[in-house]
Amino acid sequence: MRWLAKVALQRGLGLLPGQGERLNYLFQRHLLHSLPAGEAALRRKFARALRHLRLYEQHGPGTPPPDAVFYEFGTGWDLSIPLSLAALGAERQILVDIRPSVRTELVADSLATLALLSSELEADAGRPLRPLGTSPPVSTAELEPRFGIRYLAPCDARATGLPDESVDFVSSTDVCEHVPEADLARIFGECFRLLRPGGVLSCRIDLQDHYAYFDRSLSRYNFLRFSDRAWSLVTSPLQHQNRLRVNDYLRLVRDSGLVLVAEDPSLPASAAGELRRVPLAPRFRDGYTPEQLGVTVLSFVARKP
């Protein structure tokens, strides 16, 4: 029941006005020692950045990455993916967060780890990497002159105020699952507005119960057993999980006006057996196939016509 202790802690932190996220960061950094994330995590995030870039090159409007404008909503603390994209050749990026989340000490760690692993990552990418240096940034104001990264926070991804048709590529990595459905619909609509014709959106979404990463006794489908009301008492405002399934996300994308051009759902072979051991809430017993419920990671690319 370790996950319930984490629920209690995060819900308690979330009730502290303006302090919850800061205290959650300090808890993860100094008590759990889960931050900085380390070399293995940087390798994974670099691989995800490289995948986004390759999907842009395959499905995008043809503008070379150095000349294109990349946009990301929900960037997190360490900027490992935007920095990886900068090393891979993206020279203009716009990042938005609903609240200032970047921690310069974690950005410094990402830079140092990218430099340390540069030869290995360059071999994985099959292309030269742009050296970013290892000098720690003093503030987020340094990100644009040094790396071409314009960081906007607080900025509402539902209505950014950025010009129409001003970006070539939108990426999102493990963020959409934390956004309520109604807000996500507006975010996808804003992505449609921001993209130039032929521009693309590339998303990676983790559809598993995130408490299972903390408590290995949990099924990755554990959160599907709760009613919406019960889940609202369990999920944390610091790490909201919307529990949308693969068909829900694809519907929201289509409703935004974007056209799906690639879908890559990950369905474990053990999913059917695991789901049989979870007493599903009525919401998930009707209207979903076992395959739709069982997808653990969804990657997709959608294009603006």
Q: What is the pLDDT of residues 188-213, one digit of tens each?
A: 999 999 999 999 999 999 999 998 98
Structure tokens at 58: 């395959």
How far apart CA 132 and CA 49 sit, in angstroms, is: 16
The confidence score (pLDDT) of residue 210 equals 93
- Cα torsion 293, 294, 298, 303: sign: negative
Query: Maximum CA pair distance of the chain?
Result: 54
Render pLDDT for 231-256 as a digit per residue (tens, 0 to 9).
988 887 778 999 999 999 999 999 99
How far apart CA 176 and CA 183 sit, in angstroms, is: 10
The confidence score (pLDDT) of residue 236 equals 75
The confidence score (pLDDT) of residue 237 equals 73
Whether the per-residue pLDDT at 28 is higher than 90: the answer is: no
The amino acid at residue 250 is L
Mean pLDDT in the chain?
A: 91
What CATH number belongs to 37-207+244-303? 3.40.50.150
The confidence score (pLDDT) of residue 14 equals 58
Whether cis (ω within 30° of 0) applies to the bond prior to 137 is no
Q: Are 130 and 87 in contact (CB under 8 A)?
A: yes
Whether the per-residue pLDDT at 2 is higher than 90: the answer is: no
Percent of the chain with pLDDT over 90: 81
How far apart CA 253 and CA 187 sit, in angstroms, is: 10
Confidence band of 24 (pLDDT split at 50, 70, 90): low
Strand partners, 205: 298
* Least reliable range by pLDDT among 29-43, 47-61, 69-83, 167-181: 29-43
The confidence score (pLDDT) of residue 20 equals 56
Domain layout of the chain by residue ranges = 37-207+244-303
Confidence band of 17 (pLDDT split at 50, 70, 90): low
Render pLDDT for 163-183 as a digit per residue (tens, 0 to 9).
999 999 999 999 999 999 999
* Least reliable range by pLDDT among 147-151, 220-224, 285-289: 285-289
Whether the per-residue pLDDT at 30 is higher than 70: the answer is: no
Phi, psi (rounded to 5 degrees) for 207: -95, 15
Q: Are 179 and 240 in contact (CB under 8 A)?
A: yes
Percent of the chain with pLDDT over 70: 88
Average pLDDT score over residue span 10-16: 56
10 Å Cβ neighbour count for 21? 17
- Count of CA atoms in the C-beta half-sphere (13 A) of 85: 33
The confidence score (pLDDT) of residue 287 equals 87
176 sits in which H/E element: none
The confidence score (pLDDT) of residue 286 equals 86
The confidence score (pLDDT) of residue 27 equals 55
DSSP 218-267: S-TTGGGGS-HHHHHHHSBTTB------HHHHHHHHHHTT-EEEEEEEE-
The confidence score (pLDDT) of residue 235 equals 82
How far apart CA 236 and CA 225 sit, in angstroms, is: 17
Closest residue by Cα to residue 242 from 223, 217, 220, 261: 223
Answering whether pTM is above 0.85, one says yes
Phi, psi (rounded to 5 degrees) for 239: -150, 60
Closest residue by Cα to residue 80 from 118, 117, 111: 111
Dihedral, CA atoms, 37, 79, 264, 65, nearest 10 degrees? -140
